[in-house]
Amino acid sequence: MRRSVLGFISALLLVTIATGCAEGRDEPGSEEQAAQDGLVLAVGSEPETGFDPVKGWGRYGSPLFQSTLLKRDDQLKIVNDLATGYKVSGDGLTWTVKLRGDAVFSDGEKLTSDDVKFTFDTAASGGSSIDLTNLESVEAAEGQVKFKLKKPQSTFVYHLITTGIVPEHAYSDGYAEHPVGSGPYTFVQWDKGQQLIVQANPNYYGDKPSFKRLTFLFLQEDAAFAAAKAGSVDVAYIPSTFSSQAVKGMRLEDIKTVDNRGIAFPYVKAGAKTDEGYPIGNDVTADETIRKAINTVIDRQRLVDGILEGYGSPAYTAVDGLPWWNEQSVIEDGDAAAAKQMLADAGWKDTNNDGIVDKGGLEAVFTLLYPSGDMTRQALALAASEMVQAAGIRMNVEGKSWDEIEKLMHSNAVLLGWGSHDPLEMYNLYSSIYGGVDYYNTGFYANESVDKWMDKALDARSEQQSLEFWKKAQWDGQTGLSAKGDAPWAWLVNIDHLYLVNDKLDIGEQRIQPHGHGWPITDNIEDWAWRE
Amino acid sequence: MIRRHMLQAAGMNTGIPRWNGRIRTAISVSGAIALLAVIMLGSRLMGSEGLAVSLEERNMAPSPAHLFGTDWLGRDMLSRTVKGLALSIQVGLLGAACSTLIAAVMGLAAATLGRAADRCISWLIDVSLSVPHLVMLILIAFVCGGGMKGVAIGIMLTHWPSLARVVRAEALQLMSADFVLVSRKLGRSRMWIASRHLAPHIGPQLLVGFLMLFPHAVLHEAAITFLGLGMSPHQPAIGIILSESMRYLSTGMWWLAVFPGAGLLLAVWAFDRIGGHLRRLTDPGSVRL
């Protein structure tokens, strides 16, 4: 019954669109067929900046309207999309990408190398969220594009994977609200704050998705859950607190992620100030033993079971499970005795019997900040501070707004979250040159050998080659950025993304999802289908 | 029969033991004060064990071990409720008391300091009333850097205008009363008149105003903490607890909202009760009843 009502509305909508936009186009068949063709999803938050890849749309998850030069398959291997292949010169400075000839934008215009050049030039010039400072120039030739870099950068390939190509002829200020692209879907309508409607792109060169029309509703988590209960959506994202309730006609999909949460410690002693005048450093967390003891005493599995209802996994680095993850970075945790021993060996003892260890008059007390709007981070912060007490360390938990956190995050521990399909993120988090830049390396971590390994990884000529160096940066047997090495972070958990999915809907094999609950689920939209 | 009804209507003894108004007032006032004292003392004596996270005891319904149940992090809801109420009452009392003081000073000043002062103060009242409380509160709390201090100062500085207007009207009326006119002719200073003649008369108004401000102050404290400008969301304040419980109502955890909500209601009602009775005892019109 619900389906046919929905179908009727959808059919009406399609008729309006069909007659409105393209006269003479065939009307949809029966209502039943229309219902089979459409999906209603409540999976993500609304992108504030619209749907312009140059301004960051598609960073997390597929850009939907646009297509990219390369893409990842379900095993996270890099495969061709708009490109038919790419080559890196021996010095690593020139990347030549060959384009397929049959790609057209949804308005019928052919996608050429000029459009690729235009996209990257625009992204490099206009204060976008894409860091293309290393890009010297882009040259467009017949059927191929040459990217010239200032210095070799193996992670440049991720720009080719994540940057959707925009059309030069149809790009203007309003593009973000009316995107035109060569992706699997074309834009129909965006009611800000409410919904986004897209329909299948008839000109798409790739495997055509089996759903003609998608409606994305922008709902809060509890509203999405209510909508799923009412049967008005086919896919809904939910927080783990709602996971224990079964919803009729829906099943729970539990998707693994690198959407991680962890505690970033100030790595240096107090004293310095940033250019804005915010204090840097903390004497307690600058002590390696303290950071390692915290890493050791925290029971990550208990956090997963207790806070995420089991829908998550312990996190040991920022890149767990990704091709560049070093499995040796996993440590034994949840061991209070070992943590105590570690502290005692380093001279941290409870001399004044207040339950908190001290050393040279310095008590092992510091503040842990969390963004006050985020329930999961609040829970993790409280539970972690409870756990570290067993080792004689006190973390005073404080919830703040992001504005306040920005002022305090270099001198206090902060509960942050990351997770990307691009190892460049690891570089940004741990490289000494990113100390104090945005929310990256908030603690001013710096280790020469880690920097060296990561520079080598950037300098590599292929992704394959770079992987080994990324792994060495985490732990090379002597030192590293993981908890085994300098432990500048205490990573806590990877949060699984939970979706309620219509029982009859097959959403294919989902890959490990990055940070950002929602949009990434549509990465493999071509594989989605109704089950017979 | 008719006689008995008349007697009853007149509040006289008809065989059923009844206390007179004064005693009933005393009993209910002391009951209400006792309730508030229990909340304040209880939160002092309780310690912070109940606020500790214990992941093994999450989302438990009320039981002998946890009379009010536990929340999503295994914190004891009884401890949180009592501590939250105590905190909210403190902020509410402080905010309402300071607002009342400001209102009294403003109202008396407007009435006694002449026309220019009256215009200035009336203008200030109108301006303050034209901006919604919450917006002013957010601004002030933000300037003060958030936290408990920001909320308290914000509430103090935003809740006085309507009461100040009442006080001003009352005081202006008194200014034209014979005994005040005589007093002025006798050369008494404005300060003297304001403190000896006017202040005692506006006492009941202030009391009622104070008690009307209190629930406002508590609710606004809750609202501003909900918006993230007040205290950290893990600290026990009744507003935070209530807004948090909203998320869990759809999952059937009724005890998260019911007990703290009832607690707030009871505390506000107790205050109302005290205020109502005190007014009857101090107001010349009803004091003989």
Domain boundaries, chain A: 1-46+192-255+496-532, 54-175, 260-495
| Closest Cα in chain A to B227 | A373
- pLDDT category, A400, cuts 50, 70, 90? confident
pLDDT for position A242: 83
Percent of chain A with pLDDT over 70: 92
Host H or E run for residue B25: helix B21-46
Q: What is the mean pLDDT of residues A507-523?
A: 83
Rounded to the nearest 10 degrees, the angle between the axes of helix A288-297 and helix A336-345 is: 170
Q: What is the mean pLDDT of residues A201-229?
A: 89
pLDDT for position B283: 65
Query: Under DSSP, is residue A528 helix (H, G, I), strand (E, B) or coil?
Result: coil
pLDDT for position A342: 93
Contact with chain A for residue B58, Cβ under 8 A: yes
Rounded to the nearest 10 degrees, the angle between the axes of helix B77-112 and helix B199-226 is: 140
pLDDT for position B17: 61
Residues of A in contact with B251 (CB under 8 A): 241-242, 244-245
Host H or E run for residue A140: strand A135-141
Q: What is the mean pLDDT of residues B163-191?
A: 89
Chain Cα centroid distance, residue A340: 35
Percent of chain A with pLDDT over 90: 57
Closest in B53, B228, B250 to A383, CB measured? B53
- pLDDT category, B5, cuts 50, 70, 90? low
Helices (H) and strands (E) counted in chain A, each on its own, are 13, 23
pLDDT for position B124: 92
Looking at CA atoms only, how far is residue A525 from chain B in angstroms?
A: 31
| Closest Cα in chain A to B226 | A373
Contact with chain A for residue B52, Cβ under 8 A: yes
Selected residue with higher pLDDT from A4 and A427: A427
For residue range A302-323, list pLDDT tens digits in order: 999 989 989 999 999 999 988 8
pLDDT for position A476: 92
For residue range B47-66, list pLDDT tens digits in order: 777 788 888 888 888 988 88
Looking at CA atoms only, how far is residue A310 from chain B in angstroms?
A: 12
Contact across the interface for B228 and A305, Cβ inside 8 Å: no
Looking at CA atoms only, how far is residue B132 from chain A in angstroms?
A: 23
Contact across the interface for A306 and B233, Cβ inside 8 Å: no
- pLDDT category, A116, cuts 50, 70, 90? very high
For residue range A344-383, list pLDDT tens digits in order: 999 999 998 889 999 999 999 999 999 887 888 999 999 9
Residues of chain A whose C-beta is under 8 A from some C-beta in B? 222, 225-226, 241-242, 244-245, 302-303, 305-307, 372-373, 375, 378-379, 381-383, 386, 397-401, 404
Residue-number span of the structural domain to which B229 is assigned: 20-50+67-282
Of the listed ranges A30-44, B144-158, B179-193, the one predicted with least confidence: A30-44
B contact residues 69-128, partner A, Cβ 8 Å cutoff: 72-74
| Closest Cα in chain A to B146 | A400
Q: What is the mean pLDDT of residues A223-240?
A: 89
User: Tell me: domain A1-46+192-255+496-532, CATH 3.40.190.10, correct?
Assistant: yes
* A54-175 matches A1-46+192-255+496-532 in CATH topology: yes
Contact across the interface for B233 and A399, Cβ inside 8 Å: yes
Looking at CA atoms only, how far is residue A512 from chain B in angstroms?
A: 27
Looking at CA atoms only, how far is residue A241 from chain B in angstroms?
A: 9
pLDDT for position B285: 62
Asked if A442 contacts A419 with a C-beta cutoff of 8 angstroms, the reply is no
- pLDDT category, A131, cuts 50, 70, 90? confident
- pLDDT category, A73, cuts 50, 70, 90? confident
| Closest Cα in chain B to A370 | B232
Q: What is the mean pLDDT of residues A388-396?
A: 94
Q: Is residue B273 part of a domain?
A: yes
pLDDT for position B277: 75
Residues of B in contact with A244 (CB under 8 A): 251
Looking at CA atoms only, how far is residue B64 from chain A in angstroms?
A: 23
Q: What is the mean pLDDT of residues A475-491?
A: 93
Selected residue with higher pLDDT from A304 and A133: A304
pLDDT for position A35: 57
Q: Is residue B60 part of a domain?
A: no
Residue of A309, A372, A408 for testing the chain B interface, max B β-carbons within 10 Å: A372
Q: Is residue B61 part of a domain?
A: no
Closest in A222, A241, A397 to B234, CB measured? A397
- Beta strand A235-238 with A365-371 is unpaired
Q: Is residue B14 part of a domain?
A: no
The CATH number, out of the four listed (3.20.20.70, 3.10.105.10, 1.20.1560.10, 1.20.1250.20), of the domain defined by the range A260-495: 3.10.105.10
Chain Cα centroid distance, residue A193: 22
pLDDT for position A8: 47
pLDDT for position B287: 53
pLDDT for position A509: 86
Q: How far apart are CA A522 and CA B64, in angstroms?
A: 48
pLDDT for position A44: 77
Contact across the interface for B232 and A398, Cβ inside 8 Å: yes
Here the CATH number for the domain that contains residue B89 is 1.10.3720.10
Which tokens sit at B252? 């059937």
* Cross-strand bridge partners of residue A270: A272
**Mean of the per-residue pLDDT values of chain A:** 87
Closest in B58, B233, B250 to A372, CB measured? B233
Contact across the interface for B233 and A378, Cβ inside 8 Å: yes
Whether the pLDDT of residue A384 is over 80: the answer is yes
Looking at CA atoms only, how far is residue B250 from chain A in angstroms?
A: 8
Q: How far apart are CA B204 and CA B202, in angstroms?
A: 6
| DSSP string computed for A203-243 | T--SPPPS-SEEEEE---HHHHHHHHHHT--SEEEE-GGGT
Whether the pLDDT of residue A95 is over 90: the answer is yes
- pLDDT category, A127, cuts 50, 70, 90? low
Contact across the interface for A372 and B228, Cβ inside 8 Å: yes
pLDDT for position B11: 47
Which tokens sit at B174? 């008194």
pLDDT for position A31: 44
pLDDT for position A57: 86
pLDDT for position A14: 43
Half-sphere exposure of B81 (CA within 13 A, CB side): 24
Q: How far apart are CA B251 and CA A470, in angstroms?
A: 44
Percent of chain B with pLDDT over 70: 88
Q: What is the 3-state secondary structure (H, E, C) of A54-108?
A: HHCCCCCCCCCCCCCCEEECCCCCEEECCEEEEEECCCCCEEEEEECCCCECCCC
Selected residue with higher pLDDT from B147 and A462: A462
Looking at CA atoms only, how far is residue B230 from chain A in angstroms?
A: 9
Q: What is the 3-state secondary structure (H, E, C) of B235-246?
A: CCCHHHHHHHHH
Whether the pLDDT of residue A12 is over 80: the answer is no
Residues of B in contact with A373 (CB under 8 A): 228
Domain count, chain B: 1
Q: Is residue B4 part of a domain?
A: no
B75 Cβ partners below 8 Å, 6+ apart?
A: B50, B51, B52, B53, B54
Q: Is residue B164 part of a domain?
A: yes
Q: Is residue B114 part of a domain?
A: yes
Q: How far apart are CA A343 and CA A178, in angstroms?
A: 58
For residue range A421-477, list pLDDT tens digits in order: 888 889 999 999 999 888 899 999 999 999 999 999 998 888 888 999 999 999 999
Residues of B in contact with A382 (CB under 8 A): 53, 73, 234
List C-alpha distances in Å: A440 to A406, A433, A443, A489.
11, 10, 9, 12
Nearest Cα residue to A116 out of A80, A158, A82:
A82
Q: What is the mean pLDDT of residues A159-170?
A: 91
- pLDDT category, A16, cuts 50, 70, 90? very low
Contact across the interface for A378 and B52, Cβ inside 8 Å: no
Q: What is the mean pLDDT of residues B99-115?
A: 90
Q: Is residue B62 part of a domain?
A: no
For residue range B196-226, list pLDDT tens digits in order: 888 888 888 888 788 778 877 877 887 777 6
pLDDT for position A11: 46
| Closest Cα in chain A to B230 | A400
Q: What is the pTM of this model?
A: 0.79
Whether the pLDDT of residue A94 is over 50: the answer is yes
pLDDT for position A26: 39
Question: Given the structure tokens 């008995």, which residue do they identify?
Answer: B4
Of the listed ranges A108-122, A493-507, B231-245, the one predicted with least confidence: B231-245
Whether the pLDDT of residue B164 is over 70: the answer is yes
Closest in B54, B72, B250 to A226, CB measured? B250
| Closest Cα in chain A to B57 | A306
B contact residues 229-288, partner A, Cβ 8 Å cutoff: 229, 232-234, 247-248, 250-251
Q: What is the mean pLDDT of residues A111-124?
A: 92
User: Tell me: domain A54-175, CATH 3.20.20.370, correct?
Assistant: no
For residue range B29-50, list pLDDT tens digits in order: 788 888 888 888 888 888 777 7
Helices (H) and strands (E) counted in chain B, each on its own, are 12, 0
Contact across the interface for A397 and B73, Cβ inside 8 Å: no
pLDDT for position B284: 61
Chain Cα centroid distance, residue A122: 23
